[in-house]
Amino acid sequence: MPHRTGSPTPGVEWGAAIRPLRGQTESGDLYVVSPWRRGVVLAAIDGLGHGREAAAAARTAGAAVEQEPDGDVLALLTRAHQAARRTRGAVMSIAALDTQADLLSWCGVGNVEAALLRCNGREILKRESLLLRAGVLGDRLPSIRVAVLPVSPGDILVFATDGLRSSFVHELGISGTAQRMAEEILGKHATGMDDALVLVARYIGGDPAP
């Protein structure tokens, strides 16, 4: 089952959609949405392979992120890497939204795509993609560079595992709720060849609740 902590989440409106590979009872893909003192941490995790062991690897990495969420995405990713050593491994992209400073910090290992859509409420003005590094949590952790970007209310953050066609990012609509967006992306772009997960967060901003 996906991890949901602190929903509704201050600073963002979010939604997620998951589809396991046909014939599997569990998905090896998982998401984390967890508040921290200045905003919210979001992550999409893909356990290697399919089925129960992949799901266990994703849950282990996700639990490490949720343990003490904060805005240091590199430290959270490293913690997930250490925890995943006792599993078959996973890949992950992670972001921290600082709602006090209107900043996004993000990084990733493996092939979980992440994109930031800069929106004015009616249309997408610009797309920015997370630079991913090859590696596997629990096995090979490459040198990671954290990128920090400004964000504005209305901007949309999208994560997608490799069960989605990469072309999805160029065919996005931004109307409707984040949950509706996630479901539409999954419905239109899932390949059917792997577990698939989409996590969407629309940035609202403002100080998180005390």
Instruction: Note the pLDDT tens digit of each residue in 139-190.
Output: 989 999 999 999 999 999 999 999 898 878 777 777 789 999 999 999 999 9
Under CATH, which architecture does the 12-202 domain have?
Answer: 4-Layer Sandwich (3.60)
pLDDT tens column, 46-56: 999 988 999 99
HSE-up of residue 161 (Cα within 13 Å, Cβ side)? 31
Q: In the predicted model, is pLDDT for residue 9 greater than 80? A: no
pTM of this structure: 0.91
Contact 96, 65 (CB under 8 A): no
Question: Structural domain boundaries of the chain?
Answer: 12-202
pLDDT tens column, 51-101: 899 999 999 999 999 988 788 999 999 999 999 999 999 999 999 999 999
- Residue 44: predicted pLDDT: 97
Higher-scoring residue by pLDDT: 109, 2:
109
